[in-house]
Amino acid sequence: MTTRRDFLQKVTASAILLPLPAWVMARQPYDGPVLRVALMGLGGYATRVADAMRSCTKAKLVGAISGTPAKLTEWQSKYGIPARNCYNYDNFSAIKNNPDIDAVYITTPNSLHHSQVLQAAAAGKHVICEKPMALNAKEGAEMVAACKKAGVKLLVGYRMHFEPKTLEVIRMRNNGDFGKVLFFQGLCGFRIGDPTQWRLNKQLAGGGSLMDIGIYAINGARYMVGEEPAWVTAQETKTDPVKFKEGVDETIQFQLGFPSGVVASCLSSYSMNNLDRFFLNGDKGFAEMQPSTGYGPIKGRTHKGELTQPHATHQTIQMEEMAGIILEGKQPIVPVDGEEGLKDLKIIDAIYEAVKTGKKVALKL
């Protein structure tokens, strides 16, 4: 049997060995501002976020938006959401008159993000939007502009930007532990199931694997290397044109070139498992992470040994940190704002152009 004293001794010993993130330290009684959030699109990922928010101190789930009445009823009961804070997609704009809600977190299919972000901004609510932020850079730029005009913040659900092992690799890179960075590899993929799901619908997803799992490799290349790419080349492979119809990519390989000479080789696939891997190589050392972007725990090692930062639910950390960004003006180590999301959309546009033309496409981010 573990006593309270044993537990406290273990926690104290761990605190001496490992620096704990600020959100962990905030487990002490918190009486500061709380971000009151409504989730839009009550699917599987929204449920994951809602469950994770039970452990938050700076963020609280207070509202729900769905086109399915039964889901709204279920969420009212499960998460204690008042009926007055529940909306459907037709009356969503009325959220403007609800002082109980500060921000809307959008977890709907990709093609809906643009219009829903514009609606939320017009209602005067801060917005957190799942990635990819939109279907293309044109939509993304309009979303950034709309939120600026409305005076609200636009954040993107880049949960890995707060993940402790990821941040440790970034710290080591900034500290020069890897020396001159030379190469990055990002492998992201899984075998997708149900052929009728929205992720395989061009109108809803905007593409295929690249618009879903591939964005992790795109974004990961940027934050692992610490530069913005200058060019991209890309190739598409399709083995099942029935399941992966026109405009829905099955597998895309793409290469990024950076101003310093770093090159990145990445792969995005809906037809292979065991691909959740990042590798960063420099002339003095390396970092390898596998899994690198899954829900956790993330595992990794460098030339100095295993990464041992403690695991915590990604969505809990994300919502705590995003509350700090919105309410307190905190600056994250890696940006999560709309401009960050727009850069990834510009790269996605360029990858699809490179696939279509077979040419190297210049990037201006």
Q: What is the pLDDT of residues 207-236, one digit of tens each?
A: 999 999 999 999 999 999 999 999 999 999
Helix (H, G, I), strand (E, B) or coil at 239: coil
| Residue 62 within any structural domain of the chain | yes
Confidence of residue 2 (pLDDT cuts 50, 70, 90): very low
Q: Whole-angstrom Cα distance, residue 152 to residue 36?
A: 14
H or E element at residue 74: helix 69-79
| 131 among known catalytic residues | yes
| Residue 127 within any structural domain of the chain | yes
Q: Which residues contact 151 (CB under 8 A, 6 or more apart)?
A: 124
Q: Are 278 and 186 in contact (CB under 8 A)?
A: yes
Place of tokens 């929204």: 46
Angle between helical axes of 137-150 and 338-357 (0-180°, round to 10): 170
Residues for the chain: how many in total? Answer: 365
Are residues 289 and 172 part of one domain?
yes
Are residues 222 and 114 part of one domain?
no
Q: Tokens in use for 101?
A: 């809600």
| Residue 329 within any structural domain of the chain | no
Are residues 291 and 267 part of one domain?
yes
Nearest residue to 199 via CA among 207, 187, 191: 207
Predicted pLDDT of residue 219: 98
Confidence of residue 20 (pLDDT cuts 50, 70, 90): low
Catalytic pick among 216, 223, 270, 352: 216
Domain boundary among 159, 192, 214: 159
Which residue range is the domain that position 175 belongs to?
160-311+338-362
Predicted pLDDT of residue 31: 87
| Residue 94 within any structural domain of the chain | yes
CATH of the domain at 171: 3.30.360.10
Are residues 345 and 271 part of one domain?
yes
Are residues 190 and 91 part of one domain?
no
Helix (H, G, I), strand (E, B) or coil at 78: helix
Predicted pLDDT of residue 22: 53
| Residue 320 within any structural domain of the chain | no
* pLDDT over threshold 90, residue 317: yes
8-state DSSP, 320: H
Q: What is the 3-state secondary structure (H, E, C) of 161-190?
A: HHCHHHHHHHHHHHCCCCCCEEEEEEEEEC
**In the structure, how many helices (H) and strands (E) does the chain have?**
11, 15
Mean pLDDT along residues 252-269: 98
| Residue 321 within any structural domain of the chain | no
Q: Whole-angstrom Cα distance, residue 198 to residue 110?
A: 9
Sign of the Cα torsion 319, 320, 326, 327 reads positive
β-strand 103-106 against 86-87: which pairing, if any? Answer: unpaired
CATH of the domain at 40: 3.40.50.720
β-strand 35-40 against 286-289: which pairing, if any? Answer: unpaired
Which residues in 33-53 are b (16+ Cβ under 10 Å) and which e? ebbbbbbbbbeeebbebbebb
H or E element at residue 231: strand 231-237
Predicted pLDDT of residue 6: 42
Helix (H, G, I), strand (E, B) or coil at 103: strand
| Residue 317 within any structural domain of the chain | no
Predicted pLDDT of residue 160: 98
Catalytic pick among 58, 125, 131, 343: 131
Are residues 141 and 13 part of one domain?
yes
- pTM of the full predicted structure? 0.92
Q: Are 156 and 133 in contact (CB under 8 A)?
A: yes
Rounded to 5 degrees, what angle do the CA atoms 74, 76, 79 make?
Answer: 95
Are residues 111 and 228 part of one domain?
no
